[in-house]
């Protein structure tokens, strides 16, 4: 290996490496980093630092090195205290930007080195990125949509875009790309937004097609919130890249799994981000409350109904996985009660849908990078990729909960100072 004077090398060694591609773990592994990039990764005796170059060596006994986690669905401006989006949006942009900075720091310290932000108010997340570039704030690498594309009164329309017709849709995409959007988020059905209709498709297929074509033209991908089956069908017709939530719901709100939709998702290689833990987290809160003082009759009914729905949802995701759908892990934090810093629960939920722990890790590393169109530089421990790494105690390929035993985080080849969390 050639090395110029001034090159800095970092060597990480651990009991095993998980490279994020789905390959089996490598025992006694090592990763060699030069500046911000990986130059070699593999069995320790094959990863040799150059003679004479300054070397920063870190050895982690009883530990695993893997790619930094990629949370493909966050809302950095969220508070995570249960308030609705309708309430959140009434906060001033300055508060939301400060909250996004705090959420970013927390997520990075928990092992997430890249996030895809799926919708923020006005230009808050673009301003956060500017602050990070200036060194004012810290956090994961940001892949930003800015304001989501919504119809008049549609889900998240209050964040700043309401487009009607093909021309307005194209114009809005061009505006977002001008502002720095890395991808386009579409709310293809209603959702929790009070004026929206969760089970009714929002944009028509010609509008969706215009949005997605315009995004693709500029080398950007599109991800769509779909809370109903018809929303998914329309998005597939229009050429969507990632389907978010993927609720198999009929126009009257009943759940009905439709295998022909799954077949189309598989055929087109569309990623699904199922956001499984978001609802489960709410149930965990209620269960915790039940154990510590009890629930009101309304809360008990909420818990019972929630448990029933969770069974249906997890079954639908399991059927998709069985049919060959590839999942991209994304938490949807800090929507509802889900704080940033807890992404590992979503990865664990993927194992409940039938993924092995190793496959679940891929859904949060290599496949998450693919769904974000960032796999040329992120998501796996391969030469030439950016050196975003996570080191955990234990072996998460056997016990997925080990992903939470964070020992160290590296971003761009630099060790993240996590303060007293270490």
Positions touching Zn ion (CB under 5 A) are 118, 332
Inter-residue contact 18 to 25 (CB < 8 Å):
yes
Positive or negative, the CA dihedral 103, 20, 363, 193 is positive
Interhelix angle for 277-291 vs 297-323, to 10°?
150
CB of 247 to Zn ion, least distance (A): 13
Which ranges constitute the DSSP H helices of 37-79? none
**Residue nearer to Zn ion on the CB measure, 249 or 385:** 249
In this complex, which beta carbon is closest to Zn ion, that of residue 330 or of residue 357? Answer: 330
CB within 8 Å of 164: residues ≥ 6 apart: 151, 152, 207
- Taking the alpha carbons at both ends of the chain, their separation in whole angstroms is 33
Angle between helices 205-217 and 229-238 (to 10 degrees): 50
Closest approach of Zn ion to the CB of residue 119, in Å: 6
Beta carbon of residue 366, minimum distance to Zn ion (angstroms, whole number): 22
- Residue 118 or 222: the one with the smaller Cβ distance to Zn ion is 118
139 or 330, CB closer to Zn ion?
A: 330
Residue 91 Cβ vs Zn ion, minimum distance, rounded to whole Å? 17
Minimum distance from CB of 396 to Zn ion (Å)? Answer: 25
CB of 73 to Zn ion, least distance (A): 6
CA atoms of 63 and 287, how far apart (whole Å): 33
Structure tokens belonging to residue 407: 């020992």
The H or E element containing residue 223 is strand 221-225
275 vs 380 by CB, closer to Zn ion: 275
CA pair distance 118, 74, nearest whole angstrom: 6
Q: Identify whether the C-beta of residue 137 lies closer than 8 Å to the C-beta of residue 131.
A: yes
Query: Between 38 and 329, whose beta carbon lies closer to Zn ion?
Result: 329
Q: Indicate the residue among 118 and 403 with the shorter CB distance to Zn ion.
A: 118
Element (H, E) at 353: none
The residue among 71 and 332 lying less far from Zn ion, judged by its C-beta, is: 332
193 three-state secondary structure? coil
Instruction: Please choose, from the candidates 345, 339, 280, 285, the residue with its C-alpha nearest in 3D space to the C-alpha of residue 81.
Output: 339
- Nearer Cβ to Zn ion (72/348): 72
d(CA 143, CA 345): 21
How many Å apart are CA 92 and CA 78, to the nearest integer? 13
Asked whether the beta carbons of 187 and 160 are under 8 A apart, the reply is no
DSSP, res 18: -
Minimum distance from residue 392 beta carbon to Zn ion (Å): 26
Instruction: Provide the minimum distance between the beta carbon of 118 and Zn ion in the complex, in angstroms, as a whole number.
Output: 5
Nearest distance in Å: CB 70, Zn ion: 16
CB 182 within 8 A of CB 143: yes
């Amino acid at each position: 290996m050639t090395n110029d004077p001034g090159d800095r090398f970092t060597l990480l060694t651990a009991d095993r490496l998980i490279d994020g591609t789905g390959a089996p773990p490598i025992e006694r592994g090592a990763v060699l980093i030069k500046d911000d990039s990986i130059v070699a990764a593999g069995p320790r005796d094959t990863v040799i630092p150059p003679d004479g170059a300054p070397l920063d060596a870190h050895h982690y006994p009883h530990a695993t090195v893997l790619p930094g986690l990629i949370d493909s669905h966050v809302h950095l401006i969220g508070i995570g205290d249960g308030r609705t989006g309708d309430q959140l949006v009434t906060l001033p942009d300055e508060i939301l930007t400060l909250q996004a900075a705090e959420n970013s720091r927390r997520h990075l310290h928990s092992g997430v080195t890249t996030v895809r932000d799926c919708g923020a108010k006005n230009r808050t997340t673009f301003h956060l990125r500017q602050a990070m570039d200036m060194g004012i704030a810290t956090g994961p690498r940001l892949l930003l949509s800015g304001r989501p594309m919504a119809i008049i009164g549609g889900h998240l329309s209050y964040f700043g875009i309401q487009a009607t017709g093909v021309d307005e849709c194209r114009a809005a995409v061009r505006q977002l790309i001008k502002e720095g959007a890395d991808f386009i988020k579409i709310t293809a059905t209603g959702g929790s937004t009070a004026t929206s209709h969760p089970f009714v498709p929002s944009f028509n297929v010609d509008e969706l097609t215009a949005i997605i074509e315009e995004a693709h033209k500029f080398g950007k991908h599109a991800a769509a919130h779909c809370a109903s089956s018809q929303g998914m069908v329309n998005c597939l017709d229009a050429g969507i890249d990632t389907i978010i939530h993927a609720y198999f719901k009929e126009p009257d709100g009943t759940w009905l799994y439709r295998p022909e939709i799954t077949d189309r998702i598989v055929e087109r290689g569309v990623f699904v981000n199922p956001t499984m833990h978001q609802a489960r987290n709410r149930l965990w809160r209620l269960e915790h409350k039940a154990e510590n003082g009890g629930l009101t009759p309304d809360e008990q009914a909420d818990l019972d109904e929630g448990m029933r729905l969770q069974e249906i949802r997890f079954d639908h995701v399991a059927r998709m996985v069985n049919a060959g759908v590839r999942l991209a892990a994304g938490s949807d934090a800090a929507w509802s009660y889900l704080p940033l810093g807890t992404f590992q629960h979503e990865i664990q939920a993927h194992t409940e849908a039938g993924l092995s722990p190793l496959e679940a890790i891929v859904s949060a590393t290599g496949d998450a990078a693919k769904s974000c169109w960032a796999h040329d530089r992120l998501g796996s421990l391969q030469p030439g990729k950016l050196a975003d790494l996570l080191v955990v105690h234990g072996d998460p390929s056997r016990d997925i909960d080990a992903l939470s035993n964070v020992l160290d985080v590296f971003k761009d080849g630099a060790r993240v100072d996590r303060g007293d969390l270490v």
